[in-house]
Amino acid sequence: MQQSPILQRWFRTTEKSPRLLHVLTAITLCFVGGLAFLWRLGSVGLVDETEPMFAEAARQMLVTGDWITPYYNDVTRFDKPPLVYWLMAIAYKIVGVNAWGARLPSALAAIALMAMIFLVLYKYGFPTAATAAQPDESKTKQKLWLGALLGSSLIALNLQTIVWARTGVSDMLLNGCMGSGLVCFFCGYGSGGRPLNRWLPNIWYIAAYACLGLAVLTKGPVGLALPGLTIIFFLLYLGRFWSVFLEAKPWIGAIIFSVITVPWYVLVILRNGQTYLDTFFGYHNYDRFTGVVNGHAAPLYFYIPVVLIGFIPWSLYLPAAIARLKLHKIGDWRQQPRHAHLGLFAMAWFSTIFIFFTIAVTKLPSYTIPLLPAGAILVALLWSQMLLEPEQKSQWFWWSGAVNVLFLGFLAGFMIYSPQVIGFDPAAPNLDSSFRESILPIAGALIWAIATITAGVSLYRSRLGLLVSNICAMVLFITCVLLPMGTLLDQARQAGLREIAKTITEVRQPEEKVVMIGFEKPSLVFYTGQHIDFFDKPSEAIRFIQQSGASDQEETILIISRNKYLTNLPFTILNSEIIQEKSPYKLMRIPQKIF
């Protein structure tokens, strides 16, 4: 198999006009990042249950002026440190208090991570050690450019990154800060670690310390523990721990890290005392690692399908990308120059996070997000080598491509069958019929079917064609199926609640209580801007209303629930006012005296 004529022509053109390379790179990154993370970012409302809690805590900071203690629904919220709330609140001031503002920090963090992945691959993404030693700098830069563009695109064009970059929670911000910190560390390491002066380490190490400080201010100790373990394992493998330790001057890093993190932690502990320590460090960190929290238990192999599906189709090439590193040849790795170690560093990054969260007892799909940048680097290095060295034979790569083609075919078939998979959801009773009647299943099946054909042909004729088939399929699936599916879900599950929230803001009387029975939907708190009392059982709601001790028997209460719970309350429709009904929810005004 020969190198693609398209690539050959492209390299000749950009060698004559380097500026063209930079311009087209910028356009490509802006297009991919804008499409994946910014396009229609606020077109759907906040999704219950976690996202509105973050959004409301940030809104409360604006309302109360308290930027130290986060609150949700008039109760302290110690789940996460404040950085994500601060950034959301700043975004609210710029774009308004809405879903766009709540999600903007996540989207920008994803775009920043794209840029950092491009940077590290463009500087150190040598497909092989031989490429790293190549004297022709212009040709080397062209090869590095290919891997850099691939890696930055792969981190954007996968389901897990797209979903979390469009969700207003702390996970993508943690990924951005942690990933940037690790990239900065490797840039310092790869450059030889030359210090700024006798007191300060390399500027890249300083940037790494700052990024890791922001990571801890985003999600706590895990923002330091995971990068720290990654770096330690990487350096121990190479036998360079103490030499890099001394050149990185971690005592300077401790000062930078402390300046960023310590002030808020001191202030929040002084204000909230043992309650904060027990809730954040105890329940949300130690307990999550050592025990099951909120019922999020899963088997040890849980993250294998999570990474496989969330990083599709690029996850199919991870075995080949790891195999090409030849990790058993420790001596060879230790003889290579520092700037040729990016693949090994990405492997340490990927495996450390995967093993850490596999050991942790509480398991959630979002926990694997921080390993995706490492996966993108590994796969980009593999593809870069396969495209630049077409004579290179790799059984691992060929079989990965074959599985890739089969999986694309499976996705085409699954999309046809998908309307049968979506069962009845009481929170969205019309979702299954709406999806079945839409064009989305056919569109998805057509996209994956075409990709299957083009990828199947390319498997034998053109590696570039195989890559392009996957990229084009992902872009089309995002624009034509995934984002429209989000709108469909929003209309089925969330739109009714937003309309009820709007009605509550219009009809609620002064001091009138608002009660939701049967479930907790935090989006009501955000969209009404008011306190909501949530109760799982009707009996709990009745007890609360009776104990509220209203002095005026003419007082009323607004209740939101479903028919299944309303039938257990001591009143009939004739004795109450139905203000609004949005299937499956009802908003009713109930006289206090009935209770």
pLDDT digits (tens, 9 = 90+) for 495-535: 999 999 999 999 999 888 999 998 899 999 999 999 999 99
Q: Where are the domains of the chain?
A: 5-392, 508-594
Q: Per-residue DSSP letters for 475-519?
A: HHHIIIIIHHHHHHHIIIIIHHHHHHHHHHHHHPPTT-EEEEESS
Report the DSSP beta bridge partners of residue 392.
Answer: none
Classified as helix, coil or strand, 254 is helix
pLDDT at res. 181: 98
pLDDT at res. 295: 67
pLDDT at res. 320: 96
Spatial separation of the C-alpha atoms in residues 256 and 250, rounded to whole Å:
10
pLDDT at res. 192: 85
pLDDT higher than threshold 60 for residue 573: no
Here the tokens at position 325 are 């590193």
Residue with tokens 């995971």: 226
pLDDT at res. 196: 77
pLDDT at res. 291: 74
- Per residue in 121-137, pLDDT (tens digit) is 999 998 776 666 564 56
The mean predicted confidence, pLDDT, of the chain is 90
Here the tokens at position 387 are 């495209």
Question: What is the biggest distance separating any 2 CA atoms in the chain, rounded to whole angstroms?
Answer: 88
Specify the pairing of strand 556-561 against strand 513-517: parallel
pLDDT higher than threshold 60 for residue 436: yes
**Separation in Å, CA 393 to CA 3, 4, 90, 344, 396:** 13, 16, 52, 21, 9
Here the tokens at position 252 are 């300077």
pLDDT higher than threshold 80 for residue 14: no
pLDDT at res. 525: 96
Highest mean pLDDT among 13-27, 159-173, 536-550: 159-173
Of 551, 550, 508, which is closest to residue 530 (Cα–Cα)?
508
Do 60 and 71 form a contact (C-beta atoms < 8 A)?
yes
Assigned CATH for 508-594: 3.40.190
Do 241 and 334 form a contact (C-beta atoms < 8 A)?
no
Spatial separation of the C-alpha atoms in residues 168 and 173, rounded to whole Å:
9
313 cis-preceded (ω within 30 degrees of 0)? yes
Specify the pairing of strand 513-517 against strand 533-535: parallel
Could you tell me the pLDDT band of residue 59, with boundaries at 50, 70 and 90?
very high
pLDDT at res. 570: 66
**Residue 61: CB partners within 8 Å, gap ≥ 6?**
67, 70, 85, 86, 89
Spatial separation of the C-alpha atoms in residues 102 and 106, rounded to whole Å:
8
pLDDT at res. 130: 62
273: left (phi over 0), alpha (psi -120 to 50) or beta: left
pLDDT at res. 284: 77
Spatial separation of the C-alpha atoms in residues 124 and 7, rounded to whole Å:
21
Higher pLDDT, 364 or 241: 241
Residue with tokens 């775009």: 111
Q: What is the mean pLDDT of residues 68-82?
A: 94
- Per residue in 274-297, pLDDT (tens digit) is 999 988 888 777 777 777 666 677
Could you tell me the pLDDT band of residue 550, with boundaries at 50, 70 and 90?
low
- Per residue in 250-266, pLDDT (tens digit) is 999 999 999 999 999 99
Amino acid making up residue 451: A
Share of the chain above pLDDT 90, in %: 67
pLDDT higher than threshold 90 for residue 4: no
Could you tell me the pLDDT band of residue 352, with boundaries at 50, 70 and 90?
very high
Classified as helix, coil or strand, 232 is helix
pLDDT at res. 254: 96
Instruction: Please provide the distance, in angstroms rounded to a whole number, between the alpha carbons at the two ends of the chain.
Output: 80
Here the tokens at position 513 are 């209580």
Spatial separation of the C-alpha atoms in residues 90 and 67, rounded to whole Å:
11
Spatial separation of the C-alpha atoms in residues 295 and 363, rounded to whole Å:
9
Share of the chain above pLDDT 70, in %: 93
Q: What is the mean pLDDT of residues 39-68?
A: 95
- If one counts every other C-beta atom within 10 angstroms of the C-beta of residue 250, the result is 15
- Give backbone dihedrals phi and psi of 577, rounded to 5 degrees, phi first: -105, 120
pLDDT at res. 270: 96
**Residue 320: CB partners within 8 Å, gap ≥ 6?**
382, 394, 396, 397, 399, 400
Do 155 and 372 form a contact (C-beta atoms < 8 A)?
yes
pLDDT higher than threshold 70 for residue 224: yes
pLDDT at res. 131: 64
Of 157-166, 186-195, 204-213, 308-317, the least confident: 186-195
Of 99, 30, 43, which is closest to residue 488 (Cα–Cα)?
43
Burial (Cβ within 10 Å: 0-12, 13-18, ≥19) of residue 303: buried
- Per residue in 140-192, pLDDT (tens digit) is 677 788 899 999 999 999 999 999 999 999 999 999 999 999 999 999 999 98
**Whole-model pTM above 0.75?**
yes
pLDDT at res. 158: 95
Classified as helix, coil or strand, 359 is helix
Q: What is the mean pLDDT of residues 228-240?
A: 97
Do 70 and 139 form a contact (C-beta atoms < 8 A)?
no
